[in-house]
Amino acid sequence: MWIITLTGALLVITYFYLRGTDLEAYDEPRGQSFDAGSGPSEAHRAVVDSLRAGSSMMRQGSGPERLARLRDYMDGVSESQAYSAKITPTNANGVPAEWVLAQSADPARRALYLHGGAFIAGSPKSHRNITSRFSEVTGAAVLAIDYRLMPEHRRLEGMDDCRTAYRWLLDNGPNGAGDADRLYVGGDSAGGNLTLALLAWIRDQGLRQVDAAVALSPLTDSTFGSDSLRRNLETDVMLAPMLRPLLKIPRPLLWWANWLRNRVPPSDARVSPVFGNLANLPPTLVQVSEAEVLEDDGRRYVNRAVAAGSPAQLQSWGHVVHVWQMFYPELPEACQAWDEIEAFIRSTDDQKITEQAA
């Protein structure tokens, strides 16, 4: 009898506590698409070739060796890219960080940027091409933080660093203490996940909310529930090599493994913001590729946020790689994406000015 009871309890926990709700109802509408039907640019084909070569290199050696190689590879990306922003190391109340200021940046405008890297890699250094461009389009001083990574730390510890840094950013800029005129937050992939989770936390804490948020190819569902995880597995040259072995494992086992490793169920809104309360959130722009495995993660988040009354919008590109915005300015598709981000920021600024004048 106890075996039956235990089995029943495990099934209840697995399918009602770890899995999360069915989100297929939020697969439509599909948002604004920038697929002109012309196919990828020559520059994009070169990016794909480079990623495939890098992926082959990452599969060599033991697990720790591959992780070290991945981290070195990502940090080395910025060394081959040109950016004109001023980089200044800082400390955000115990969280290592750096200020990134474009020549046009106003220190009274501030932004927090949370890098991607699957929660196991990436750093402010690896994302300087993105953070310098984010500083340009927002006109803000960008605080890029070096949050704690897995597997050395649990996932929620990295999230705690994001929260600590945001509290610090409210009262501190690159020139010292003081309030900010404007506040923004952005992130890509895993950093997009942290960005969207942070918005809900800011609201629930009653803190000053950001004026706008940008999430690039964000992970929003840690239960592996999005259909695009399998539908786009053959077209996502960046994430597929990492995900393909995981997707061979039954999802319930992945749920349990994540829960035991991180001490938080994968359906928890702290790690899967798509399952959370998405009401009363700031203007949010989500950009995804229609060829990446996280396509549905972004779409479902935006559709749920809009259904909850929050001003979110989705933009998608037809063929580009995951977080293609990092290949600015060489990639025409990246230039177009950044133009849209800048237009979004300007529209939220105009709305803010109108509200203040009313």
Does a cis peptide bond (omega within 30 degrees of 0) precede residue 124? no
For 125-178, the DSSP string reads: TTTHHHHHHHHHHHTEEEEEE----TTTS-HHHHHHHHHHHHHHHHHEETTEE-
SS3 305: helix
Residues 6+ apart with CB under 8 A from 328: 129, 130, 133, 334, 335, 337, 338
Beta bridge partners of 314: 286
Pairing status of strand 172-173 against strand 176-177: antiparallel
**Residue 131 is which amino acid?**
T
Residue 36, both tokens: 């002109």
Alpha-carbon distance 48 to 320, whole Å? Answer: 9
Just list the catalytic residues: 189, 292, 322
Distance of alpha carbon 229 from alpha carbon 225, whole angstroms: 8
60 strand-pairing partners: none
**H-helix or E-strand containing 42?**
helix 42-58
Backbone angles phi, psi at 172, to 5 degrees: -140, 140
For residue 72, give both structure tokens.
């070195």
Nearest to 29 by CA among 250, 313, 335, 284: 313
Give the chain's largest Cα–Cα span.
71
- How many other CB atoms sit within 10 Å of the CB of residue 316? 21
Please state, in angstroms and as integers, the Cα–Cα distance from residue 183 to each residue in 134, 138, 199, following that order: 13, 9, 12
User: Any idea which residue has 């977080």 for tokens?
Assistant: 323
